[in-house]
C-alpha cells in the first residue's frame, strides 16, 4: 500500500496473525484529498459548494 512504511505484525492467543503498515500522515492526507477530488468530479462538483449538472438523488 502506498501509504505505509514498516510492517507491523500482531498475533493473538489463537495464533491468528494480522499484518499492516503504519501510515504516513502527509501521504495519507494527500491521498484523501485526491479521493475527494475524484469523488467531486464524478458528482459534477467543480469547486466546493458549486455543482454543475442536474440534481441527482442518492438512496
Tell me, what's the pLDDT at 38? 84
User: Please, are residues 3 and 31 in contact by the beta-carbon 8 Å criterion?
Assistant: yes
Q: Cα(37)–Cα(11) distance, rounded to whole angstroms?
A: 37
Where the chain has pLDDT below 70, the residues are: 1-7, 44-55
- In terms of pTM, does the model score above 0.75? no
| Per-residue confidence (pLDDT) for residue 48, from 0 to 100 | 61
CA distance 11 to 25: 25
Amino acid at each position: 500500500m502506498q501509504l505505509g512504511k514498516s510492517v507491523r505484525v500482531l498475533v493473538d492467543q489463537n495464533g491468528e496473525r494480522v499484518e499492516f503498515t503504519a501510515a504516513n500522515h502527509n501521504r495519507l492526507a494527500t491521498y484523501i484529498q485526491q479521493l475527494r477530488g475524484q469523488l467531486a468530479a464524478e458528482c459534477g462538483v467543480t469547486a466546493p459548494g458549486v455543482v454543475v449538472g442536474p440534481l441527482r438523488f442518492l438512496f
